[in-house]
Chain A
Amino acid sequence: GQQVMQIPQYQHVQEGEDFTTYCNSSTTLSNIQWYKQRPGGHPVFLIQLVKSGEVKKQKRLTFQFGEAKKNSSLHITATQTTDVGTYFCAGHNDMRFGAGTRLTVKP
């Protein structure tokens, strides 16, 4: 199956700081999905990107899909304690997930 690499594995930030996680694929993706898993919870769908170069926003979250459709990023502006969790990307070619980035936020 495709390889979807996600970095960093962990990120600890002070509340109010920004946060970015990156997802890279070895192959071109038809689309990419992002999920959030709260501690003790299950992954919950956030958004899907389909078009080359696409940028989508959800309040403080900005999602980007690379021009070559091989990479993607999730950026959170001014993190809050409610952003705590693990963020996963998934290449939709065959639903392989990245290893996730675990975000912790210090109040």
Chain B
Amino acid sequence: DVKVTQSSRYLVKRTGEKVFLECVQDMDHENMFWYRQDPGLGLRLIYFSYDVKMKEKGDIPEGYSVSREKKERFSLILESASTNQTSMYLCASTPYRVNQPQHFGDGTRLSIL
């Protein structure tokens, strides 16, 4: 069974801090995604990656960056955290083959004070 693991379930940081959210999958999936989930807005795509060292902007990349140095790991970076980045962050992965479902991690609930 596919396992997508996010490093923290809950995280509290301060405004201006650099924040790292880590995601690891154990199924050798090529595609990895970062979403944020806010009430009434559903899941909004921040960044995705189709391969190591490759990244593509999603719909709301401002204030975020990503890193994919290894196939199994996809990191989301908040360069200078702000209060409007308080949210639930979800990581997902799929194999490269088309028409495959996304497998999600449990999410990281991030609070920026």
Q: Which residues of A contact B90 (CB under 8 A)?
A: 42-43
Binding site secondary structure of chain A: loop
The reply to whether the CB of B59 lies closer than 8 angstroms to some CB of chain A is yes
User: Would A42 and B42 count as touching, CB distance under 8 A?
Assistant: no
Return chain A residues, CB-CB under 8 Å to B98: 30, 92
Is B74 interfacial (CB 8 A cutoff)? no
Instruction: Name 14 interchain pairs, CB-CB below 8 A, sorted by A.
Output: A1-B45, A30-B98, A33-B101, A33-B102, A42-B104, A42-B105, A42-B107, A43-B90, A44-B104, A90-B102, A95-B45, A95-B102, A96-B45, A97-B35
A20-42 Cβ-contact flags toward B at 8 Å (1 or 0): 00000000001101010000011
Given contacts A42-B90, A43-B90, A95-B48, are A88 and B42 in contact (CB under 8 A)? yes
For residue A9, CB closer than 8 A to chain B, the reply is yes
Minimum-distance CB pairs A-B, first 3 = A45-B101, A99-B42, A42-B104
Looking across the interface, which residue of chain A has its beta carbon closest to that of B38? A99
Q: Nearest CB to that of A101 among chain B residues?
A: B42
Write the nearest CB–CB distance from A24 to chain B, whole angstroms.
Answer: 14
Q: Does A48 contact B (CB under 8 A)?
A: yes
The minimal Cβ–Cβ distance linking A4 to chain B, given in whole angstroms, is 9
Which B residues are closer than 8 A to A by beta carbons? 33, 35, 40-45, 48, 58-59, 90, 98-99, 101-107
Chain B residue numbers with a CB within 8 Å of A44 are 104
Cα–Cα distance between A55 and B101 once the two chains are bound (Å): 18
Scan residues 42-64 of chain A and give those whose CB is less than 8 A from a CB of chain B: 42-45, 48, 50
